[in-house]
Amino acid sequence: MFTGIITDIGEIVAVTPRAEGLRRLRVACRYPTASILEGASIACSGACLTVVGTGEEGGRTWFEVDAAAETLKATTVGCWRPGTRINLERSLKLGDELGGHLVVGHVDGLAILTARENLPDTARLELRAPPQLARFIATKGSVALDGVSLTVNEVAGEAFSVLIIPHTLKVTTLGALAAGDEVNLEVDLMARYAARLMETKPGSADAPPR
């Protein structure tokens, strides 16, 4: 479980194909090596991946994760190459501050940035969600884009917009986005459960027999 508050920007330094469609990714970061344990979960631009190795090289910490075929197909992970910068967040511990919203690290799909407007001190991003996910996105609701917790500004059909404040532009990869880029989208977990409850209310087609 995560909050969508990014704590570092990592860099892909190696991509190694492995058996059965897997790819092993080595990510350089600023986390202390001793603080990253094998088996730990790290959200990498919104995709929850499991650490399979750690070390240090050139004065920087690195960790390795394996990405399966489904992850490579359904997220931006399949496009990552050496030099790609990604948002990082380590999993929550009991007692940690919940500064964003509950993010599980299971990417629902890819949103496309259709327009970017640079305003004084902020940026307004307009995006298009996959049709099957648009119903989970609501004005003033929450979404995670490349792992960053954001509040939805406006919604119109499959299109929605968010405002990015200066701090977020500085400490995440969102500041480098341009029209046409794809980002990992995770819809609000609470919206998904609410929709499911509505689908299964008495009298609906999906409601269990009584």
Q: What is the pLDDT of residue 205?
A: 53
Task: Give 87-126 pLDDT, tens digit per residue.
Answer: 999 998 776 777 778 899 999 999 999 999 999 889 999 9
Cβ atoms of residues 103 and 149 within 8 Å: yes
- Residue among 185, 158, 159, 189 nearest 174 (CA): 185
Instruction: Extract the tokens encoding 105.
Output: 């690290």
Q: Average pLDDT, whole number, for the chain?
A: 91
Cβ atoms of residues 67 and 23 within 8 Å: yes
Cβ atoms of residues 186 and 106 within 8 Å: yes
Task: Give 149-168 pLDDT, tens digit per residue.
Answer: 999 999 999 999 999 999 99
pLDDT more than 70, % of the chain = 92
Degrees, nearest 5: CA angle 103-106-112: 95
Three-class SS of residue 63?
strand
Instruction: Extract the tokens encoding 103.
Output: 């993010």
pLDDT more than 90, % of the chain = 80
Give the CA-trace dihedral at 111, 116, 118, 122, to 10 degrees: -20
At 196, the pLDDT band (50, 70, 90 cuts) reads low
Q: Does the CA dihedral 51-54-57-61 come out positive or negative? A: positive
Q: Is 60 exceeded by the pLDDT of residue 203?
A: no
Q: What is the pLDDT of residue 93?
A: 76
Q: Which domains does the chain have, with CATH numbers?
A: 8-90 (2.40.30.20), 109-196 (2.40.30.20)
CA 80/CA 101 separation, integer angstroms: 26
Which pTM value belongs to this model? 0.90
Q: What is the pLDDT of residue 98?
A: 73
Q: Specify the higher pLDDT residue, 190 or 59.
A: 59
Instruction: Extract the tokens encoding 79.
Output: 């496009």
Pairing relationship of beta strands 182-187 and 148-156 according to DSSP bridges: unpaired
Task: Give 55-87 pLDDT, tens digit per residue.
Answer: 999 889 999 999 999 999 999 999 999 999 999
